[in-house]
Structure 1
Amino acid sequence: MINFNGNIVEQDNILTQNRAFLYGDGVFETVKIINGKILFLEDHYFRLMASMRVVRMQIPMNFTMEFLEEEILKLVNEQGISSSARARITVYRNNGGLYLPQTNEISYLINTTVLERRLYALNLNEYEVDLYKDFYVTKQLLSSIKTTNKMINITGSIFAHENGLANCILLNDSKNVIEGLQGNIFMVVGNKLITPPVSEGCLNGVMRKQILALAKKLEGIEVSEEIISPFELQKADELFLTNVIMGIQPITKYRKKEFKTNLAHLLLQKLNESISEN
């Protein structure tokens, strides 16, 4: 038995044994489904497999891309939301052990929610950000994968809410810009599009990959992965964030600087065109 909020109740293994709950011993992917199709499925699948290998989870033989696709679509079809939905796949090590697990075998959980829009749309409402400096992201491989330990993102989100901000920008332990709380960051200076390299500690984002590929096809745009200092943000013409659910989110204000949205508009158009073609 356990004491749960002052009440003595029967033991619940989700609370007392689940390693994702106890130690953050889990990884996850969040995908977008449009018209019964998972966007960028291959990129999500291979990132999930890479994440599982990094944290030394045992990948079951049947855990193929086709299996994962079938399991996700089975749920959204059952719920009747396959036309536009979001799904999160959480993979965690099975119960047993303390810091040292008794097994590297895994279980998975998929949960879904309906999305209002099918294609991506640009949100042009005021979107002010600032730096979050209470904690820093370390430049290491674990920072580039999606684990169930997101305390920096949680405390940063609380900080943003308390200060009337739409989002915050995270820094690494070298005090360089790496990403937003919910997505990768891009900076436009003249005809140059810049985003921090994954080696700086940012998430190896699936949408980040799509935007880089689309931008490289645009005439007159130079694309670069470079270290970005906080000081350089105020010299930018545009700043925007990306993730698979929202697509592209322009930043309208950082400190006293306000930004344009020209390239964000163009890239969003190209993104929707690429989705419609597939």
Structure 2
Amino acid sequence: MVNFNGELLPKDSTFLNHENRGLRYGDSLFESLRSINGRLFFWEDHYFRLMASMRMLRMEIPMDFTMEFLQEQIQQVVAANSLDESAARVRLTVFRNEGGRYLPRTNTISYTIEAKALEHSFYVLSDGAYEVELFKDFWLNPDILSTLKTNNKIINVVGSIYARENGYDNCLLLNQRKAVVEALNGNLFLVKGNTIKTPPLTDGCLNGILRQKLTEIVAKLEHYELEESSISPFELQKADELFITNSIIGIRPITKYRKKQFTAVVAKDLLGKLNAAARLG
């Protein structure tokens, strides 16, 4: 079942048409989050990111779009798909209503909510091989629009095809200043000694919820030093660890970049702390 503007519909229903602005112009935002037994991981953070992004894109926020209302709508979809006693991946999509061309006829919005099963209730660290390469065909813009979770993900699509065609598990994206910004599906962290480094939002990386949570966790740990600064491609092969974060996978260690093999000692240490934060939040 899918929720469209508060109405539960079968997944094969036709409820969007060719004039949808998300389809035509990418005039849309989305949030991906975990639900465990009907409880949403870091829901407050996802909600406030969505509200801030909608304001930035001049979307009109409905009066009933409270945190409690949307949480209830999500939980209804989870239950309708018989996932309220297991782990689920939820996607909440918001798009400006149809009408107009580049200039919208209205700033009112519609939304959809969908849910699919996940294998694990909490974040689990994969120990399999995971090789990455730089994707250099196209660059990210180092601006605030790149930090939003919009439907404009064509660079991620083309980069994913490039990775598959060349036998990589993922690719790392560069901005126009040639700094390493993020992976195709999440934020990037680099570990060198006791320093944990991640690109700043000013480099154009996604303002990820897991990125926020891990930076908060690391900042409180005395034996690590957090650094938000640009990462050059030359730093990658000098790192002890590289890992990717997003709200669905949690932490995904990178095992190989070119000739360099990486450990996952810090990633394993942080995973337990991240799961503890998820239980509380």
**Does TM, normalized by the shorter one, top 0.5?**
yes
Between the aligned partners of 1:205 and 1:277, the Cα distance in structure 2 is 19
Structure 1 segments (4+ residues) deviating >4 Å: none
Alignment of 1:117-266 (within 5 A): 117-266=120-269
What's the CA shift string for 1:197-253, capped at 9, x where partnerless? 011000000000111111122231101101100011111000000001000000000
SS at match of 1:14: coil
Contact 1:94 1:106 in 2 (8 A): yes
Alignment of 1:72 with 2:74, yes or no, is yes
1:30 positional shift? 0.5
Find 1:96's aligned residue among 91, 95, 99: 99
Find 1:274's aligned residue among 263, 272, 277: 277
Between the aligned partners of 1:96 and 1:149, the Cα distance in structure 2 is 19
Between the aligned partners of 2:272 and 2:96, the Cα distance in structure 1 is 40
Find 1:14's aligned residue among 1, 11, 16: 16
Contact 1:14 1:21 in 2 (8 A): no
Q: Cα distance 1:24–1:252, how it changes in 2: closer, same or farther (>3 A)?
A: same
Between the aligned partners of 2:279 and 2:101, the Cα distance in structure 1 is 48
1:79 positional shift? 1.4
Between the aligned partners of 2:276 and 2:16, the Cα distance in structure 1 is 43
Between the aligned partners of 2:15 and 2:77, the Cα distance in structure 1 is 24
Question: What runs of 5+ residues in structure 1 fail to find an aligned partner?
Answer: 1-11
Contact 2:244 2:251 in 1 (8 A): yes
Matched to 2:72, the amino acid is E
SS at match of 1:148: coil
**Hey, what does 2:30 align to over in structure 1?**
28
Question: What runs of 5+ residues in structure 2 fail to find an aligned partner?
Answer: 1-13
SS at match of 1:270: helix
Between the aligned partners of 1:212 and 1:256, the Cα distance in structure 2 is 29
SS at match of 2:189: strand
Matched to 1:24, the amino acid is G
1:273 positional shift? 2.2
**Hey, what does 2:108 align to over in structure 1?**
105
TM-score normalised by structure 1 residue count? 0.94
Between the aligned partners of 1:225 and 1:13, the Cα distance in structure 2 is 43
Matched to 2:110, the amino acid is S
Cα RMSD, aligned residues only: 1.1
Between the aligned partners of 2:131 and 2:57, the Cα distance in structure 1 is 35
Count how many residue pairs are aligned between Structure 1 and Structure 2: 267
Find 1:56's aligned residue among 45, 55, 58: 58
Contact 1:186 1:239 in 2 (8 A): yes
Q: Cα distance 1:58–1:261, how it changes in 2: closer, same or farther (>3 A)?
A: same
Contact 1:128 1:253 in 2 (8 A): yes
Between the aligned partners of 1:99 and 1:118, the Cα distance in structure 2 is 42
Between the aligned partners of 1:118 and 1:165, the Cα distance in structure 2 is 27
Between the aligned partners of 1:34 and 1:138, the Cα distance in structure 2 is 35
TM-score normalised by structure 2 residue count? 0.93
SS at match of 1:17: coil
1:13 positional shift? 7.6
Matched to 2:175, the amino acid is N
**Hey, what does 2:5 align to over in structure 1?**
none
Identity of aligned residues (%): 54
Between the aligned partners of 1:275 and 1:227, the Cα distance in structure 2 is 28
1:277 positional shift? 4.4
Q: Which moved more, 1:170-179 or 1:216-225?
A: 216-225
